[in-house]
Amino acid sequence: MKFKNILRSRFGGLILFGFIFLAISFLIRTILLITDLQNVDLSFIRFIQIYSIGIFYDLVTISYFIIPFTIYLLFVPDKIFNSKIHRWISYVFFIVTIGILVFSGIGEWFFWEEFSVRYNFIAVDYLVYTHEVISNIRESYPMPAILLGMLLVSGGIFALVKKNFDHSIHSESRFVKRLTTCVILWMFPLAAFYTINKSSAEITKNTYSNELAHNGIYQIFAAFRNNELNYNSFYQSIDDKEAFTNLRKLIKTSNSEFTSEDVFDVSRKITYPGDDKKYNVMLITVESLSGSFFTRFGGKDNITPNMDTIVQQSLFFTNFYATGTRTVRGMEALTLSLPPTPGFSIVKRPKNEGLFTLGNILTSKGYNSSFIYAGNGYFDNMNYFFGNNGYNVVDRKDFPDSEITFENAWGVCDEDLFAKACQVADSSYKEGKPFHNFIMTTSNHRPYTYPDSKIDIPSHTGRNGAVKYTDYAIAKFLREAKDHEWFKNTIFVIVADHCASSAGKTSLPVNKYHIPLIIYAPNIIQPSENNTMASQIDFAPTILGLLNMDYTSKFFGKDILLEKPNRALIGTYQKIGLLQNDQLIVQLPVKRTESFKISGEEQDAEQINPAELKNAITYYQTASYLFHNKKYSFKD
């Protein structure tokens, strides 16, 4: 009887809503668990933890969700509350709110299918860049059917609870009693705001289990709050002077000399014997090009037949790693040669102008440096970053209709993009200037659409077709480039921005960061394989080495062909790692550290090596220090 009386109180509708929210969240969590059942640590204890901690996060989310409704219920007088107008307003709000939950649940399933995580920073990006995202969703999924299903489910849920809901909108209560109820309800979200964070659900080293214990809606708001993490506040640190002293040892090379005695100044003079080569650099950064696609790395689907041939004619780096799981992370590493600092990529952060980039170096040496993108470069702040760091920007707005044979939500197809890159190169050649073109592809991205009749896999049938189309477009580009006068003096680079999937059983699955680096220049470089472990931060120094170029450097990376880095820096938004000597040190934003022994695709926990931990702390602490203290600028 007491419970029925509570449901019939002024706040009974919120309680009813809470039960529906918990039921939907339980269903979503169960569906996601079944989807990746083979990857989840599903012992009895873990099962209980996933659902118990999951319910806790659901309750936290509910407590935030209902705050506006509690304020309304606090102040609306009984006369209005018991009126017919309020009844219909309540119906609308209730149905819409349930609709949002159902829609969020459907979205979470698709998001999990793509990224194997609950909503996170990526979802925040999707909320910000609505044009591209909505177009992508419309092209990728049967939205009319999904929306109809959402409405039917929402309406069905409302029909089931309408009788109980009606009782809650015909009640009377005194203001003091309402205020007391509200204060009690507000105490929980207030306490959660200051004490609960994403890491509170880290129940195991199995990433899938941790993600299932979260709530997707909570994750979105948590991502808004934590778009940048202060290194010293969230991670293990050492004295800054000690960190920079160690960094100087880590980045010192045989052809470099520091320009200052100041331990905090990492500037050093890089010298090579002989004159600068003035080769052109055509960098093709391929969307989501995992190393596992290649035959050389065990790929069995034959979706990179042309690149499989190209690697035999190229300098091919077989032990190369992406620094992150997003395009902007790849861009950051390839241009800045800087470890992936926690939070948003520097590409997206404010005050990222005039940084020490490959573009600024080459532009100062007389090159035309250009960023060439198939879509709208305002996405992810790309145009601003490149435009203020030494690059001319060429994006979708610079493609007249006559130059577009095919496009989708993300931009023009790769063939059209490469044709534009040839135009830009021709223009620089006519000026008598060497060029560096940073080309970013988009075809290997959902909805995976591309021109018909180009390859033997139909458009819009999945990633394999998109990868094979990009492979076809790259081969066509290189063939056609041979007809241009600048070809013989050009270094072509093919590298991924990140892997196609970053999901794994551990927080940083090393094999999901393995990408190809191919340097093709038949008139300049002899074909060979290089097995040195390196990552995207080593790209810029290596290219400058191939150019035999003297320069002043602040780069964290090394010329792979001169000094073997034998380490890789990899990370997500919150977890940052150092891979070295078959050991992966992972730092988490709760001042906690994990260590794993790497053997193939297996990662087994092991004791932390103090020296490796110090190196991991050094790389990330100093990178964060230099950026935040404006010590990583091109001109001090």
Query: For position 422, which CATH number holds?
Result: 3.40.720.10
Domain edge (last residue) among 562, 594, 611: 562
* Torsion angle defined by CA atoms of residues 328, 330, 336 and 340, in that order, rounded to the nearest 10 degrees: 80
User: If you average pLDDT over residues 485-504, what whole number do you get?
Assistant: 93
Task: Judge if 186 and 319 occupy the same domain.
Answer: no
Domain edge (last residue) among 497, 527, 562: 562
Indicate the residue type of 95: I
Please give the Cα distance from 211 to 227 (Å, whole number).
18
Structure tokens at 145: 């059917």
pLDDT digits (tens, 9 = 90+) for 367-392: 999 999 999 999 999 999 999 999 99
Please give the annotated binding residues for substrate, written as ranges: 445
Q: Is the peptide bond before 434 cis (omega within 30 degrees of 0)?
A: no
Task: Judge if 200 and 303 occupy the same domain.
Answer: no
Residues with Cβ within 8 Å of 354's Cβ and at least 6 positions away in sequence, in order, are 360, 388, 389, 633, 634, 635
Residues with Cβ within 8 Å of 576's Cβ and at least 6 positions away in sequence, in order, are 235, 339, 340, 341, 342, 569, 570, 586, 587, 616, 620
The answer to whether residue 623 sits within a structural domain is no
The answer to whether residue 605 sits within a structural domain is no
Task: Judge if 158 and 66 occupy the same domain.
Answer: yes
Instruction: Give the residue among 579, 587, 584 at the shortest CA–CA distance from 624.
Output: 587
Task: Judge if 21 and 91 occupy the same domain.
Answer: yes
Residues with Cβ within 8 Å of 145's Cβ and at least 6 positions away in sequence, in order, are none
pLDDT digits (tens, 9 = 90+) for 312-370: 999 999 999 999 999 999 999 999 999 999 888 999 998 999 999 999 999 999 999 99
Structure tokens at 413: 């197809």
The number of distinct structural domains making up the chain is 2
pLDDT digits (tens, 9 = 90+) for 405-429: 999 989 999 999 999 999 999 999 9
pLDDT of res. 1: 43
The answer to whether residue 620 sits within a structural domain is no
Please give the Cα distance from 358 to 634 (Å, whole number).
10
Task: Judge if 64 and 165 occupy the same domain.
Answer: yes
Please give the annotated binding residues, written as ranges: 287, 327, 445, 497-498
The answer to whether residue 530 sits within a structural domain is yes
The answer to whether residue 423 sits within a structural domain is yes
pLDDT digits (tens, 9 = 90+) for 206-251: 778 888 888 888 887 776 665 666 788 789 999 999 999 999 999 9
How does strand 592-599 pair with strand 602-605? antiparallel
Max mean pLDDT among 82-86, 115-119, 223-227, 431-435 falls in 431-435
Task: Judge if 336 and 470 occupy the same domain.
Answer: yes
Please give the Cα distance from 279 to 490 (Å, whole number).
5
Please give the annotated binding residues for Mn(2+), written as ranges: 287, 327, 497-498
pLDDT digits (tens, 9 = 90+) for 600-614: 878 888 999 999 999
The answer to whether residue 603 sits within a structural domain is no
SS3 436: strand
Task: Judge if 214 and 353 occupy the same domain.
Answer: no
% of the chain exceeding 70 in pLDDT: 92
Task: Judge if 297 and 213 occupy the same domain.
Answer: no
pLDDT digits (tens, 9 = 90+) for 5-53: 556 677 877 888 889 999 999 999 999 999 888 888 878 888 899 999 9
Task: Judge if 220 and 295 occupy the same domain.
Answer: no
The answer to whether residue 272 sits within a structural domain is no
* Torsion angle defined by CA atoms of residues 399, 403, 408 and 414, in that order, rounded to the nearest 10 degrees: -100
Task: Judge if 295 and 221 occupy the same domain.
Answer: no
**Domain, as residue range, for 419:** 283-562
Fill in the DSSP letter of residue 257. Answer: E
Task: Judge if 209 and 319 occupy the same domain.
Answer: no
Domain edge (last residue) among 541, 562, 583: 562
The vertex-568 CA angle with 628 and 524, nearest 5°, equals 105
Task: Judge if 204 and 287 occupy the same domain.
Answer: no
Q: What is the pTM of this model?
A: 0.79
User: 102-106, 253-257, 536-540, 566-570: which range is least confident on average?
Assistant: 102-106
Active site residues: 327
The answer to whether residue 634 sits within a structural domain is no
Please give the Cα distance from 198 to 229 (Å, whole number).
13
